[in-house]
Amino acid sequence: MYTSSYTAGIFFAYFWNLVPKNVHSGNVFLKSHIYNKVERSILMATHNQVRMVGFLLAHPKIINEGQEGAEKAIFRIRTTHRDVDIYNGQQYQDVMIYYDGIELMPRIKKLQQFDLIDIKGVFNILTVNKKSNCPGCGQQNIKYRGSSTFIYPISLVKLNAMREAYEHDPQLPLRILEKHFKETSNQVLIVGTVVSRPEMIGDAKHPCCRYRLGVDRKYYIKTQSEITADYPWVYSYGQQAEYDYSHLKMPQDGEQGSLVLVDGFVQYRDVEAKMVCDACGEPYTYHDIVTEFIPYSIEYLNNYITDEEIAKKREIENRLNLAAILQG
């Protein structure tokens, strides 16, 4: 579940040799950061890589069509994912794809509903203002500084057109995903630093641990040049949740949180968000979507609590409890 600093150093050295330098494509720029953390004797790198294989739920929506350099494409693809211990969420995830570059735009414009595509890219989290209407008085209200997560493609390949398959059997595209692409349909590989206290929100039979990561951006989008990092929520389950809760650190006393490598998938979940109407003052709920990362596995790379430290702490606690019993 975790690795030593020596192993982590080897991992980063190997990864750094694979990363291309000074690469740009369309509106996307690769800016690789690597920090030499002398006091930890470990290389810290940023990593944000996404692989999505899925089919379009509708034709792409093209904004500013015909305006060269200003076109933007938005569409969703349906994906599936590998099994995760005690995870009982949705088997299929509808992932939002956003692109405002030049190189892939002609290819995206040719896509149609039910086309099966293979995307390699990065995830981005944007701060957005979300609008909703009060069911009582009809007033439109705005939730400021909400968030929206999408995948920005670096490469895109059309694998097949599945409209005929869908017309023959509406479940056939899903079965194709399950049979042929379950291992690769929805996969995210990120290196990030824990920035919130790990919180156990499940029960003894269904443990779930959640925490937030800070992930430096490797690919920069011109329209988001001021954004240098993303902060996704991670929800781990089962034995992984128990490991995370006991081994991960949050930032404190000037020390960074734990550095981890997450191999997982993107989950989009429907929720009922709360709002108070600015006009009538009545509370109400509205439909919203939250995005979370569900790990297949996690590697602990740096600044985590070791098994030895946990064992020592438990030994001290046992001695104190025994002393209290004897004194009582």
Contact 46, 20 (CB under 8 A): no
Which whole number is the average pLDDT over 199-218? 89
Which whole number is the average pLDDT over 130-155? 92
As given in the structure block, the two tokens for residue 105 are: 């735009």
* pLDDT of 3 strictly over 90: no
Q: What is the pLDDT of residue 258?
A: 95
Using the 8-state DSSP alphabet, how is residue 59 labeled?
P
Confidence of residue 255 (pLDDT cuts 50, 70, 90): confident
Contact 260, 301 (CB under 8 A): yes
* pLDDT of 294 strictly over 70: yes
For the chain, the average pLDDT equals 83
Q: How far apart are CA 8 and CA 299, in angstroms?
A: 9
Q: What is the pLDDT of residue 154?
A: 94
As given in the structure block, the two tokens for residue 77 are: 């693809």
Q: What is the pLDDT of residue 6?
A: 38
Q: How far apart are CA 105 and CA 108, in angstroms?
A: 5
Confidence of residue 41 (pLDDT cuts 50, 70, 90): very low
* pLDDT of 22 strictly over 60: no
Residues 137-147 pLDDT 10s: 999 999 988 88
Q: 287 - beta bridge partners?
A: 272
Helices and strands, number each (H, E), in the chain = 6, 18
Which whole number is the average pLDDT over 6-31? 37
Rg of the chain, C-alpha, whole Å = 23
* pLDDT of 13 strictly over 90: no
Q: What is the pLDDT of residue 25?
A: 35
Q: What is the pLDDT of residue 134?
A: 96
Task: Report which of residues 85 and 24 the model is more confident about.
Answer: 85
Which whole number is the average pLDDT over 41-46? 44
* pLDDT of 117 strictly over 60: yes
* pLDDT of 220 strictly over 80: no
Element of type H or E holding 243:
helix 238-247
* pLDDT of 97 strictly over 70: yes
Task: Report which of residues 309 and 180 the model is more confident about.
Answer: 180
Q: How far apart are CA 63 and CA 228, in angstroms?
A: 25
Q: What is the pLDDT of residue 221?
A: 67
Which whole number is the average pLDDT over 293-305? 94
